[in-house]
């Protein structure tokens, strides 16, 4: 997608090389999580959450569109890349599961995204402008996830159990966000302690045990940034891309 497209008069992408790849990685995170949250529409536990989950999905989709557009055509990138070319974290492609799994995924991801965007917004790299706008949205996503973690963890016995199970199940995907990303212009490993402190504080307040499984190495997950995904992802893409791919060259 970084090659010169001579068939249309499309403006050249703003980014190339490693920064483009970094923007694509962040754009893919947002796109894939938006797609997952979109699956909730019409199925949320309460009407207010229909609104909230769709609202978060829309924010993420907006971020994805800006980020993908920095590196090429948003629709070509979203609909015509194969699974191996997507650079999103494995965390965001995990299935919705029950509401607790969705909330655990939101807690882990939005805490990371908030720290990352705050850092990018404070710098002067090519993503500073986008990050400055998105960081406000992401602060709201993080608050939403934290509030629900507290409600579910410190709610009923059943919700406590479900929230604990969800936090454990997704823990193995939480090391990957702190691997270095070429071209991002920021050291992601540097805010891993802040992430861990924050998540630990929320889980503790919610009366939950901080999971003790591995976050990196051996059996922990984490090669999404290299285009290696979990088995869930191919099916998700098949559904997302099917219609677009069925009508090559069409505009919508």
Q: Contact positions toward other proteins, by CB under 8 A?
A: 31, 34-35, 38-39, 41-51, 54-55, 57-58, 61-62, 64-65, 68, 74-75, 78-79, 98-99, 150-152, 154-156, 158-159, 162, 239-240, 242-244, 247, 249-252
Cβ proximity to other proteins, 212 vs 247, nearer residue: 247
Residues 6+ apart with CB under 8 A from 65: 74
Q: In angstroms, what is the minimal distance from the CB of 154 to other proteins?
A: 6
Count CB-CB contacts under 10 A for residue 79. Answer: 15
Q: In angstroms, what is the minimal distance from the CB of 59 to other proteins?
A: 10
Residues 6+ apart with CB under 8 A from 49: 40, 99
Cβ proximity to other proteins, 158 vs 187, nearer residue: 158
Residue keyed to tokens 């986008």: 130
Q: In angstroms, what is the minimal distance from the CB of 115 to other proteins?
A: 26
Cβ proximity to other proteins, 57 vs 115, nearer residue: 57
CA atoms within 13 A on the CB side of 177: 28
Cβ proximity to other proteins, 85 vs 243, nearer residue: 243
Cβ proximity to other proteins, 136 vs 235, nearer residue: 235
Count CB-CB contacts under 10 A for residue 47. Answer: 8
Do 126 and 62 contact (CB within 8 A), yes or no?
no
Count CB-CB contacts under 10 A for residue 112. Answer: 26
Q: In angstroms, what is the minimal distance from the CB of 60 to other proteins?
A: 10
Length of the chain: 252
Q: In angstroms, what is the minimal distance from the CB of 83 to other proteins?
A: 16
Q: What are phi and psi of 113, to 5 degrees?
A: -65, -35
């Amino acid at each position: 997608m970084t090659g010169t497209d001579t068939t249309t008069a499309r403006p050249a992408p703003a980014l190339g090389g490693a920064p483009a790849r970094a923007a694509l990685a962040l754009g893919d995170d947002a796109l894939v999580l938006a797609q997952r949250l979109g699956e909730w529409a019409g199925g949320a536990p309460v009407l207010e959450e229909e609104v909230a989950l769709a609202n978060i999905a829309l924010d993420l989709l907006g971020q994805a569109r800006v980020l993908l557009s920095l590196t090429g055509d948003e629709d070509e990138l979203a609909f015509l890349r194969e699974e191996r070319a997507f650079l999103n974290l494995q965390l965001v492609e995990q299935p919705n599961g029950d509401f607790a799994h969705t909330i655990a995924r939101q807690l882990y991801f939005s805490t990371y995204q908030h720290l990352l965007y705050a850092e990018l917004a404070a710098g002067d790299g090519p993503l500073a402008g986008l990050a400055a706008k998105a960081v406000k949205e992401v602060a709201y996503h993080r608050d939403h996830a934290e509030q629900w973690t507290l409600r579910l963890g410190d709610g009923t016995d059943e919700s406590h159990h479900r929230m604990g199970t969800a936090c454990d199940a997704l823990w193995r995907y939480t090391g990957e966000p702190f691997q270095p990303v070429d071209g991002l212009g920021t050291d992601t490993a540097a805010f891993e302690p802040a992430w861990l402190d924050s998540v630990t504080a929320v889980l503790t307040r919610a009366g939950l045990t901080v999971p003790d499984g591995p976050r990196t190495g051996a059996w922990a997950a984490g090669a999404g940034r290299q285009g290696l995904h979990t088995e869930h992802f191919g099916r998700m893409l098949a559904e997302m891309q099917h219609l677009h791919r069925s009508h090559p060259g069409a505009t919508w």
